[in-house]
């Protein structure tokens, strides 16, 4: 099913119930925790006539771990996600964003390292949308009924900056792959870089060659940074090595040590063992077993996307390993009552996402709910979580800022 925008003011959610106890074990989860009854926590509610319950009824909203049994059984986990989310407190906001080191570095302007994929791995992402964990504790001497959980969304806006993922694929000789995971086409992207023996040589030796520049244009989905000519100019036999990558049963350095040593040129010294030993030309054939030799590039990039007459730019540092030889093997005490899948608009203001529930809490009882957030595009959102008790009492969390990463490839594959 293709993703689509919801245009109604009230977005649809799909609850799925799970019968049976789901044990909750204590774990370190960063949370935005409040005790309601504090008037400051309800500033963003547009209906000023809403009543606050007793301060002994508390609301706790945080992120659920993908390893939580309740998350897996109620909402599902499709393998090990490439990216998960983390929550940090920034002023009055609890900010939620991908915890992945690549994306964190990318959006903060730090250096990004090309993601490495083996021969049998597909360089696409298994993204786990953020799952919010809502816990309500009735610590009063009266019974209350939880009737609704809602997201009061102040703003939703599409992220138009280019998002470039660098991929080092083990079976692609002399190249890095670029995946456009942003919402728009990349109109142009420029790379300025130096070539090194390997990443561990940075800062301790001069590059093999420097001052290189590559420009690419009109990237909708995938593009390639091809370094084969540069490698050839640096003493690599690209014809011999390239043919080995193309064979159904390629030779490895241990099979043809003399030919590979000659073909690799200066990069014959670029590989290390797991113990950190650097191989030299005099090493025995056995030393070459299960190794893939690589070059390394390091530099800066600048990507530009145009959308409705506006220019959006992403820039920063990048580095990546360039495969030179074929890879080996080529050929919690609380039960969770209900869970919801919630889709937010990619563009919108002041709308409500409603999740109807029905839970009766006796004095000193607690209840737990989960909701997973989706959107059809990478987007940024501001919202609070509001819980309705009885008919006219409301709890409200501190405001959240959510950066929701929806890879372009996952949207295309969903169709």
Phi-psi region of 174 (alpha: psi -120 to 50; beta: other; left: phi over 0): left
The Cα 320–Cα 201 span in angstroms is: 13
Do strands 222-226 and 209-219 pair parallel, antiparallel, or not at all (unpaired)? unpaired
**For residues 316, 317, 321 and 324, what is the CA-based torsion angle, rounded to 10 degrees?**
90
Confirm if 344 and 374 have CB atoms less than 8 A apart: yes
pLDDT digits (tens, 9 = 90+) for 61-72: 988 877 777 666
Nearest to 380 by CA among 170, 56, 189, 156: 156
Write down the H helix ranges in 34-172: 69-74, 101-108
- Residue with tokens 């942003």, as numbered in its chain: 182
pLDDT digits (tens, 9 = 90+) for 115-138: 887 655 555 556 678 889 898 888
* Domain limits, the chain: 10-111+121-158+333-413, 172-323
Phi, psi torsion values for 326, nearest 5 degrees: -60, 145
CATH number for the domain whose boundaries are 10-111+121-158+333-413 = 2.60.40.10
Q: What is the pTM of this model?
A: 0.71
Query: Which residues have a Cβ under 8 Å from the Cβ of 169 and sit 6 or more positions away?
Result: 117, 123, 175, 177, 323
Which of the listed ranges 7-16, 39-48, 366-375, 376-385 does the model predict with the highest average pLDDT? Answer: 376-385
pLDDT digits (tens, 9 = 90+) for 232-284: 999 999 999 999 888 877 877 777 778 888 898 888 764 444 444 455 544 54
């Amino acid at each position: 099913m293709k993703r689509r925008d919801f245009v109604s003011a009230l977005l649809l959610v799909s609850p799925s119930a799970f019968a049976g106890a789901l044990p909750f074990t204590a774990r370190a989860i960063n949370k935005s925790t409040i005790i309601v009854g504090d008037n400051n926590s309800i500033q963003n509610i547009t209906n000023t006539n809403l009543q606050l319950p007793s301060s002994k009824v508390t609301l706790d909203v945080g992120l659920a771990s993908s390893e939580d049994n309740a998350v897996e059984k109620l909402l599902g986990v499709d393998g090990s996600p490439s990216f998960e989310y983390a929550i940090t407190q920034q002023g009055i906001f609890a900010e939620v964003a991908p915890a992945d080191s690549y994306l964190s570095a990318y959006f903060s302007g730090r250096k990004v390292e090309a993601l490495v994929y083996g021969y049998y791995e597909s360089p696409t992402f298994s993204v786990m949308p953020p799952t919010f964990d809502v816990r309500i504790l009735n610590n009063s001497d009266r019974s209350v009924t939880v009737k609704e959980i809602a997201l009061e969304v102040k703003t939703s806006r599409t992220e138009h900056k280019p998002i470039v993922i660098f991929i080092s694929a083990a079976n692609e000789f002399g190249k890095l792959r670029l995946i456009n995971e942003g919402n728009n086409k990349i109109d142009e992207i420029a790379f300025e870089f130096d070539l090194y023996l390997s990443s561990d040589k940075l800062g301790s030796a001069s590059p093999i060659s420097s001052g290189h520049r590559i420009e690419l244009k009109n990237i909708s989905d995938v593009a390639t940074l091809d370094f084969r000519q540069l490698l050839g100019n640096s003493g690599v036999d690209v014809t011999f090595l390239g043919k080995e990558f193309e064979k159904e049963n390629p030779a490895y350095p241990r099979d043809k040590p003399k030919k590979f040593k000659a073909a690799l040129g200066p990069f014959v010294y670029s590989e290390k063992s797991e113990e950190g030993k650097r191989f030299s030309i005099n090493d025995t054939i056995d030393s070459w077993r299960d190794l893939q030799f690589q070059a390394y590039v390091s530099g800066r990039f600048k990507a530009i996307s145009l959308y409705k007459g506006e220019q959006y730019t992403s820039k920063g540092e990048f580095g990546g390993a360039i495969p030179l030889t074929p890879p080996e093997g080529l050929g919690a005490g609380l039960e969770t009552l209900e869970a919801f899948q919630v889709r937010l608009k990619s563009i919108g203001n002041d709308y409500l996402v409603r999740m109807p529930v029905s839970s009766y809490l006796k004095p000193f009882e607690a209840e737990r709910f989960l909701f997973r957030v989706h959107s059809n595009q990478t987007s940024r959102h501001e919202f609070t979580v509001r819980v309705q008790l009885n008919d006219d009492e409301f709890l409200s969390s501190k405001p959240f800022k959510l950066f929701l990463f929806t890879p372009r490839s996952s949207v295309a594959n969903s169709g």
